[in-house]
Amino acid sequence: MTSIKVPPLGESIVEATVSRWLKNEGDAVASGDTLVELETDKITVEVPSVTSGVLTKRFAKEGDVVKLDQLLAEVDESQKADTKANKAPDKPADTKAEKGAPPRAESREPKAEGREPRADVRASPAAQRTAAETGADLSKVQGTGRGGVVSKADVIESAGAGGERSGAREKTPDPGSTNPRPSSGERETREKMTTRRKRIAENLLQSHVSTARLTTFNEIDMTNVEAIRGRVKEQIEKKHGVRLSFMPFFVKATIAALKDFPVVNAQIDGDSIVHHLYVNLGIAVASDAGLVVPNIKDADRMGMLDIARSIVDVAKKARDGKLTMNDLTGGTFTITNGGVFGSLVSTPILNYPQVGILGLHKIQDRPIALNGQVVIRPMMYVALSYDHRIIDGQQAVLFLVRIKELMEDPALMAID
């Protein structure tokens, strides 16, 4: 009998939440097969079997909090079973869903009222798991994510609206769910916080009480950047396979401003100020598991296209639950973009122990005074939250002004 225990989870991480069992008791497993997924405050850890045999006992349920080196399961290598007969726990035998690919076959369920099936479906991993658990047909679910990606909430909402099997409403909420749907007659629901959500809450509270946070604002006329992007985006995508968004422009402008005002890229350690001579730029990403901030290492050494590729890569890894500890540690400054959700202005909270964070917002046509005339321009409010313990107000304001100058005259970034 071989014991399967909670493996090392990363520096200073001592507990995790059992997110999902991939094998049932009695299932045959091969050495290297993933038995269970554990969710820490930062990443999802896959726990494999170290031997071939039969999973005879599971010692933790989905949603349980487990400690480092705690017993998770036992595998009897003396027993043999037909691996072809294996099935995922309590889920339909949909091999595409088990492998993380969205189902594309036509549904056997009744067609949702007023909604036609779609042939090409893109869905998040959480949405795929929820669809597999409930029997929902992803081709009939309207995606509300960026680019039409189907989220877990979309699947749940579709089921509640009668678009899928009625049994979907009776499922117990996923321990990581942030929007459980109450069954008929219920007015409240209760769910246990995941390890990741608890740690996010702790970090935000620590940032709030441990820093002297202030926020300064400015606005940027996006006309010139929009014109440049409009001219080259199709050519760049065709030639380099990179979709050029506005974020790489802001990254380049931010890096230039950090060089001019290096204290914004620093960190407090006791009674010392640590000056970073590099920029590991954090990009805040909203995922099904909560907000995460992977960072692009040595972003100050990258060109615009490499930055664009890196942003896409870390965002995809975040949404797919594939981030590593290296992706999430070592950041020196962070950019968060609430504009993609429609936010017009906000005061971002510091990603402690960093001392600065840049908040981007929605681009909106507004009347401004230009050369004595009122004109309509695409404007964006930007915000810099900073730790006043080491960053003076003048430095913070000038840092933001420098970003404004570079974004309104992008040729200056090329010269730099």
- Reported as a single tens digit per residue, the pLDDT across 248-267 is 999 999 999 999 999 999 99
Q: List the 15-21 sheet strands across, edge first.
A: 44-48, 34-39, 15-21, 65-67
Could you report the per-residue pLDDT of 23-32, keeping only the tens digit for each? Answer: 999 999 999 8
In a domain, 255, yes or no: yes
Same domain membership, residue 265 and residue 372: yes
pLDDT score for 305? 93
> At CA 382, angle to CA 380 and CA 385, rounded to 5?
165
pLDDT score for 14? 82
Alpha helix ranges (H) inside 88-124? 95-98
**What mean pLDDT is predicted for residues 137-150?**
74
Q: What is the CATH number of the domain that holds 322?
A: 3.30.559.10
Cβ-Cβ contacts under 8 Å for 252 (sequence gap 6 or more): 304, 307, 406, 413
- Average pLDDT of the chain, as a whole number: 82
For the chain, what is the domain count?
3
User: Cis (ω within 30 of 0) for the bond into 410?
Assistant: no
> At CA 203, angle to CA 198 and CA 209, rounded to 5?
125
| pLDDT greater than 90 at residue 164 | no
| pLDDT greater than 50 at residue 107 | no
Rounded Cα–Cα distance for residues 29 and 64 (Å): 23
pLDDT score for 160? 58
**What mean pLDDT is predicted for residues 74-83?**
74
**What mean pLDDT is predicted for residues 210-216?**
95
| pLDDT greater than 80 at residue 247 | yes
Question: 88 or 247: which carries more pLDDT confidence?
Answer: 247
Respond yes or no: is residue 275 known to be catalytic.
no
Rounded Cα–Cα distance for residues 36 and 59 (Å): 11
pLDDT score for 114? 42
Domain that holds residue 77: 2-85
Same domain membership, residue 356 and residue 259: yes
Respond yes or no: is residue 388 known to be catalytic.
yes
- By mean pLDDT, which of 36-45, 98-107, 200-209, 215-224 is the weakest? 98-107
Residue with tokens 């994510």: 145
Same domain membership, residue 328 and residue 285: yes
Same domain membership, residue 19 and residue 126: no
Catalytic residue among 69, 260, 392, 416: 392
Q: What is the CATH number of the domain that holds 14?
A: 2.40.50.100
Structure tokens at 327: 């992706």
Task: Provide the percentage of residues in the chain whose pLDDT is more than 70.
Answer: 81
Cβ-Cβ contacts under 8 Å for 40 (sequence gap 6 or more): 9, 10, 13, 15, 16, 17, 195, 196
In a domain, 264, yes or no: yes
Structure tokens at 92: 């339909």
Same domain membership, residue 255 and residue 374: yes
**What mean pLDDT is predicted for residues 143-164?**
65
| pLDDT greater than 70 at residue 184 | no
Catalytic residue among 208, 240, 275, 388: 388
